[in-house]
Amino acid sequence: MIDRMDKLMLAIEAAAAGQKLYGPGHPAPTRQIDLSFELLTAMLSARPELRLVCLDNQLLFDDSKLPSCTHLRETAIPRLTAHGIEWIEFRRGVTRAQIVSFLEQLARPPAAPQQIGTEHIRVGRLGRSNPSDKVASAMLSALDRTSQVEQLKRIWSRLRFGDAPDQHLGKVVESIRAAALAGADACAQLAQIKDHDEYTFVHTVNVGILSAALGEAIAMTANQVFDLTLAALLHDIGKQETPTTILNKTGKLDEAERKQLERHTLDGAAILLELDGVPDIAPIVALEHHANIDGSGYPRLGRNVRPHLASQIVHVADIFDALRTNRPYRAALDEIEAQRILCEGAGKAFEAELLDLFLGRVVKSPQPRPDARRP
């Protein structure tokens, strides 16, 4: 479907350029509008909505950049950026007239995103506005951390023996997604870890919350956020195969212990590949959540292989929560120090744009933060 979306955006851009050059009603832009409507109708017959995200001067669809991004970076992307548009959503029911209206709106002087769009073509900026304290409090009170940790421990135990995820895991995911959707400040609710035996499970719930919030910030659909959150809750399932003596060691791991710990990514992927009822991205995230974008980390993916976007999101959330909580070998770092360490990895471990969104729209610290775009 990404090829058809690529053709759609090229057709829309050609229609916009044709209208500017020849004027409305000319056969050249008319043909491109007809093609756009034909492509949209076909794609929306398979899915009720299609969302494009403009991130880091690229257009992303289904977590992958469009093949024609190099061309669109000089044409369509600046046009969208001028209007402050960071995501576009096409919904089932869109008409040819709405495509024409959308093109006319883009041709006008730049306006706020809320002034652009039609009933079935919606646009906006990445991230969510902060809810009132009352709404945030209500959403987070539903996020019963203790109950979720206990449920997660039981679910993990059953998954290890090949049982499919049950409705309890779905409820955990839904409560986390609901809190992220409300825009609640996830970081303010991160638990201080005092019992190291509980670390993996409490850490996992925290990573689920942070990942869901970042998924919302980059305008993922509800289904994508659900799958992302579920993958985040299962990303460390391979640690069931790691001895607790290694997980809770207060000193530095020796080489053999380090290699055994690193195997949890392979073990986790292997467990999830054998299970029904988990999203396709879950074993990918389990495998890749310690892989860096520059090819380092583990397992080594190679310099030319980028981790999946979901893996990158969980990676950022995973490292941030690990830095902010007590570990057997060190005390929790304060938020400013954690941000500084994350920013040192911009462009190496993490995509700078993704890290910038995480720090600016998920963490939302009132303190001055380092520039995430500076490696």
Q: Which amino acid is at 232?
A: A
- Top pLDDT among 143 and 335 is at 335
For residues 192 and 87, state if they share a domain.
Answer: no
Mean pLDDT of 67-75: 88
For residues 312 and 184, state if they share a domain.
Answer: yes
pLDDT over 90 (residue 289): yes
Report H helices in 84-198: 96-107, 133-141, 145-160, 167-181
19: number of Cβ within 10 Å: 22
Q: Is residue 324 part of a domain?
A: yes
Domain boundary among 73, 90, 124: 124
For residues 195 and 312, state if they share a domain.
Answer: yes
Which residue range forms the structural domain that includes residue 9? 2-124
b (16+ CB within 10 A) / e for 295-314? eebbeebeeeebbbbbbbbb
For residues 172 and 81, state if they share a domain.
Answer: no
Q: Is residue 263 part of a domain?
A: yes
The count of C-alpha atoms lying within 13 angstroms of the C-alpha of 27, restricted to the half-sphere facing its C-beta, is 0
Tokens coding 284: 């990918």
For residues 100 and 193, state if they share a domain.
Answer: no
For residues 350 and 289, state if they share a domain.
Answer: yes
Q: Is residue 374 part of a domain?
A: no
Q: How many helices (H) and strands (E) does the chain have?
A: 17, 5
Q: Is residue 74 part of a domain?
A: yes
Residue 181's pLDDT is 56
Total domain count, the chain: 2
For residues 56 and 205, state if they share a domain.
Answer: no
Q: Is residue 308 part of a domain?
A: yes
Mean pLDDT of 286-299: 94
What percentage of the chain has pLDDT greater than the value 70?
Answer: 77
In this prediction the pTM is: 0.59
Residue 44's pLDDT is 94
For residues 356 and 296, state if they share a domain.
Answer: yes
Residue 255's pLDDT is 93
For residues 40 and 187, state if they share a domain.
Answer: no
Helix 255-262 and helix 264-273, axial crossing angle in degrees, nearest 10: 20
Q: Is residue 372 part of a domain?
A: no
Q: Looking at residue 153, which CATH number applies to its domain?
A: 1.10.3210.10
Mean pLDDT of 206-223: 85
Q: Is residue 191 part of a domain?
A: yes
Report residue 226 CA to chain centroid gap. 11
Domain boundary among 124, 151, 166: 124
For residues 118 and 177, state if they share a domain.
Answer: no
Q: Is residue 69 part of a domain?
A: yes
For residues 120 and 157, state if they share a domain.
Answer: no
pLDDT one-digit tens code per residue, 220-258: 887 888 889 889 988 988 888 888 888 888 888 999 999
Report H helices in 240-280: 244-247, 255-262, 264-273
Domain boundary among 77, 98, 124: 124
Determine the Cα–Cα distance for residues 282 and 254; give it in Å rounded to an integer: 30
For residues 248 and 352, state if they share a domain.
Answer: yes
pLDDT one-digit tens code per residue, 151-195: 667 776 777 666 666 656 666 676 666 556 544 443 343 333 333
